[in-house]
Amino acid sequence: MMNARYELLAEEIETQGIDVEDVKDRIKRQHIETPSWGYGDSGTRFGVFRQPGAARNVYEKLQDAATVHKHTGIAPTVALHIPWDEVEDWQKLSEYAKGLGIGIGAINPNLFQDEVYKLGSVCNTDAAIRRQAVDHILECVDIMKKTGSKILSIWLADGTNFPGQGDFRKRKRWLYESFEEVYKALPDGSRMLIEYKFFEPAFYHTDLADWGSAYVMATKLGEQAQVLIDLGHHAPGTNIEFIVAWLIDEGKLGGFHFNCRKYADDDLTVGSMNPQELFLIYNELVAAELDPNVEADIAYMIDQSHNLKPKIEASIQSVCNLQQAYTKALIVNRNALAEAQNTGMIIEAEEILKRAYNTDVRPLLEQVRVEMGLDPNPLRAFRNSGYMGKVRKERVGIAPLRYRRRRPCS
C-alpha cells in the first residue's frame, strides 16, 4: 500500500529520469554489517558504564545483531573480534547464527591488548612477539575457514611515541613480512582488508598511518588484499570521498568501518556529526556502483562501541542513517551532474548534489520497508517489541569486562 508522500516523492524522482523501482531494489539489497563489540559492555580510558541487558557473550551478541536485522532487513551479518568472541566450537556458533537468520562476517584479530604488544605487534623489535602476533592472525584465518567468513579485517596499534624509538624502515619490512605470511594462508575467495589510522595510541608515528601506506601494502601483497577505510581515522579536513574515489579506481577499496568523529577516533554514531560528508562519500560509492565499467566488492561494516546510547537502538539508528545516505546518493541526477561537470557549470553541479541531499527520503524508505514486510519505523518497532524488557530479565549478572575499546586504562 502506497502513501501520498511516497507517491509525490516517486513522481519527483521519475521526472529526473531516475527509475524509482531500481532505486528501491538497490535499497533492499543494501548490506550493512554490525559489530559484535557494539552489543556488549565496553568503555573508554575513563571508565565503563554498564547497561542492563547488554550482551554477556558472543551468543547473546548474535541475538542482538539478529534483532537489528529483523527490524531493518539489511544487516544480515555480524563481525567478530578475537579473542573477545572466542568459542570452543565454531561450527556450533555458525549454526546458531544461521538459526537466527544471520551469518558470521569479518573476523578481526586483536593485536593491541596483550601486555607483550606494549611496543608493537607485527612491527615489534622482538622476533618472538612478532611470531606471536602472526600466529594469532593465522588463528583468525583458521576461524574464517570454520565459520565461512570471507573477510579478515586487520587494524594495528603499532607505532612509536617518541623520536628515535623505532627504525621506520625495519618496521615497514617486518610489517610486510608478517602480512605476507598471513596472505599466503588466506582461503580462496577471501580477502584481507588493511585498515589505517593516522594517530593513537601511537602519537609520534603510526606504522599504517594513511591510505597510501595501506594501499602500498595491499598492492605488494596481491589481489586478495585491499584497503579498509575507517571514517574516524582521518585528520580534520581530510577529503575522505576523494580517497574513496581513488581506491575504487585502483580496485583497492575493500571495505568501510562506519562511525563518526568529532576530534579523534570517537566511534560516534555514523552520520551524527557530519551527515553531508557521509552523503558525499556515498555519492562516490553509488557513482561507481552505477558504472558498468567498474568492478567493486565493498564490505560495509559499522565499527562503533555504544557506551552511552542504548546499544541495540544505536545500532538500528546507525543502519538507518546509512540507509538514508545511500538513498540520497541513489537519487542524484547523474546525467545532469555529468553535463554540469563537463561544461564547467560549477554552481549547477553543486546544486544537483544539494537537491538530492536536501530531499526527505523517509517516505521512500518507509515504502521499501513495507514492501519488505517490515515496520516502516524500525526504531519504533523495536521499542514496541518488548525485546529489551525480555533480555534484561534473562541476562542477570554481568560478564567480566574483557576489554576497553582500544584505550586501556592506565
Tens of pLDDT along 34-92? 999 999 998 777 778 899 999 999 999 999 999 999 999 999 999 999 999 999 999 99
Residue 281 has phi, psi (to 5 degrees) of -65, -45
Q: Helix or strand or coil: residue 308?
A: coil
User: What pLDDT was estimated at residue 397?
Assistant: 77
Q: Is residue 17 part of a domain?
A: no
Query: 244, 229, 234: which is closest to 273 by C-alpha?
Result: 234
Amino acid at 281: I
Looking at every residue in the chain, the average pLDDT score rounds to: 95
> What percent of the chain clears pLDDT 90, i.e. is strictly above it?
91
List pLDDT tens digits, range 304-339: 989 899 999 999 999 999 999 999 999 999 999 999
Q: Is residue 322 part of a domain?
A: yes
Q: Is residue 391 part of a domain?
A: no
Residues 6+ positions from 138 with CB-CB distance below 8 Å? 181, 182, 185
Q: Is residue 82 part of a domain?
A: yes
Q: Tell me if the pTM is above 0.85.
A: yes
Number of structural domains in the chain:
1
Identify the domain containing residue 68 by its residue range: 30-329
Q: Which three cell numbers stand for residue 369?
A: 520497508
pLDDT at 127 > cutoff 90: yes
List pLDDT tens digits, range 237-286: 999 999 999 999 999 999 999 999 988 888 899 999 999 999 999 999 99
Q: Is residue 355 part of a domain?
A: no
Read off the CATH number of the domain in which 117 is found: 3.20.20.150
More confident residue, 264 or 178: 178
pLDDT at 291 > cutoff 80: yes
List pLDDT tens digits, range 332-375: 999 999 999 999 999 999 999 999 999 999 999 999 999 999 99
Query: 127, 126, 120: which is closest to 157 by C-alpha?
Result: 120
Q: Is residue 118 part of a domain?
A: yes
Q: Is residue 87 part of a domain?
A: yes
Sheet strands (E) in 88-169: 103-109, 151-154, 159-160
pLDDT at 403 > cutoff 90: no
Q: How far is CA 377 from CA 19, 320, 373, in A?
A: 24, 10, 12
Q: Is residue 400 part of a domain?
A: no
Q: How far is CA 45 from CA 69, 376, 403, 410, in A?
A: 31, 38, 11, 8
Residue 208 has phi, psi (to 5 degrees) of -120, 85
- Confidence band of 401 (pLDDT split at 50, 70, 90): low
